[in-house]
Amino acid sequence: MLKLKAGDEILLSGVIYAARDQAHKRLVEAIKNGRKLPIDIQGRIIYYCGPTKTPKGKIIGSCGPTTSSRMDEFAPILLKAGILGMIGKGRRSKEVVEAIKKYKAGYFLAYAGCGALLNKFVKHMRVAAYQDLGPEAIYELTVQDFPLIVAIDSSGK
């Protein structure tokens, strides 16, 4: 993460977690109450995404980014707990930028409006936690060459 600079274009491969508002709320509540998290977030990247229903023959439905600022109230706590990076679209608050710097993390932009294209980079998907939330559940995604832009690097730029 430390070598990446704002503006870099990268192709991410590996396991990431897709999660939206309600899953973030539950994770933060668990952290605040000292409960064990349902997933290991240490060194992980969270993608602000709630995939659509999976069409027959596909691995995942449309999986474009959602607006990141909706997760700003949760991000500093999750960064402190070990999240390495976040993927979404749009600006981040001053508090999130400060937390990114403090915890040497990063924020990446996924291409907005391209959810039907981005699903082609997802090689495996499974519900990892909070299945009752439907599309707002936490999904474990294995991605290959997932295209991203470094929006905020670990120095806060």
Active site amino acids: 24
Give the per-residue SS3 of the chain: CCCCCCCCEEEEEEEEEECCHHHHHHHHHHHHCCCCCCCCCCCCEEECCCCCCCCCCCCCCCCCCCEHHHHCCCHHHHHHCCCCEEEEECCCCHHHHHHHHHCCCEEEEECCCCHHHHHHHEEEEEEEECHHHHHHCEEEEEEEEEEEEEEECCCCC
